[in-house]
Structure 1
Amino acid sequence: MTTWITICDTCKQEGWDAGDMAQTDGEVLAELIETAASGIETVKTRRVSCLMGCKNACNVAIQGEGKLNYTLGTFTPSREAAEGIVAYAAAHAESETGQVPYRTWPQAVKGHFVTRHPPLPKE
């Protein structure tokens, strides 16, 4: 089953305006995640403008139909973070319920979970 990584591309970490401001931190993280997810059949990515988690920038949502869904945040836009997010999403895709055993979580996502949402009811 497919798991979606929804990436906030408007996220800006504190001090963002001291840099070159060519891209938001969310745009940088989105590019890194898209690259890391390339070729993984069970993981798809999409960008949205604002997940409303500004205090936790950079934010992503891990979502799958009929599964537990998660919001993660406070990432530094780095290759390590992107690869950890994608690895977690791949494990989420393999899970029937969306729950991934803690012992198998990539180190890069530990401490970044913000919320967990139960699956929507079918009716």
Structure 2
Amino acid sequence: MTTWITICDTCKTEGWDAETAQATDGESLADLLEPLASARGVRTRRVSCLMGCNQGCNVAIQGAGKLCYTLGRFLPEPEAAEAIADYALLHQQSASGQVPYRDWPQGVKGHFVTRHPPLPDAEANAEADKT
């Protein structure tokens, strides 16, 4: 089952300066992360705003039928991109999306912001609506 990394391309970390910056910090992180994720068979997409502005740079790790996670407080650096891509691969390899803490790359520890349960499947929703 495919895992997606959704990257906020409008994120700016503290000290970001519109007059001197060539890109937002989110765009810079995406530029680093996209080839690493692709090499691991993990999909990426950019969105404008994950609404975690106080915690930028933000990404969401998602997969159909799996736990989904929002991670933040990253700097647009190669080490962060590598850790995110490595975690996303572990998420993809997990049937539930849950990755044991002992397996987490060091670079994602302390960056988890939220966890969301998977949405119920459409058939389960239809059955629940009948009752």
Q: What interval of TM-score do these two structures reach, taking the shorter chain for normalisation?
A: over 0.9
Match of 1:114 in 2: 113
More helix by share: 2
| Cα distance in structure 2, aligned partners of 1:57 and 1:19 | 19
- Conservation of the 8 A alpha-carbon contact between 2:40 and 2:85: no
Q: How big is each residue's C-alpha offset from its partner over 1:53-98, in whole Å with a ceiling of 9 and x where there is no partner?
A: 0000000000000000000000011100001000000000000000
Quote the sequence identity (%): 70
The one-letter code of the counterpart of 1:32 is L
Number of aligned residues: 122
1:45 aligned counterpart, secondary structure: strand
| Alignment TM-score, normalising by the size of structure 1 | 0.96
Alignment of 1:51-66 (within 5 A): 51-66=50-65
The aligned residue for residue 3 of structure 1 is: 3
Shift in CA distance, 96/9, structure 1 to aligned 2, threshold 3 Å: same
- Higher Cα radius of gyration: 2
Distance 1:40 1:9 in 2: 21
One-letter code aligned to 2:106: Q
- Structure 1 counterpart of 2:35, one-letter code: T
Paired residue for 1:49? Answer: 48
Shift of 1:36: 1.2
Instruction: Name 1:73's counterpart in structure 2.
Output: 72
Aligned twin of 1:22: 22
Structure 1 residue runs of 4+, over 6 Å off?
Answer: none
Matched letter for residue 65 of structure 1? A
SS in 2 for 1:70: strand
Matched, 1:89 2:68: no
- Asked whether the 8 Å contact 2:80–2:107 carries over to 1, the reply is yes
Contact 2:3 2:89 in 1 (8 A): yes
Give the structure 1 partner of residue 101 of structure 2.
102
Compute the displacement of 1:116 (Å): 0.1
Correspondence for 1:31: 31
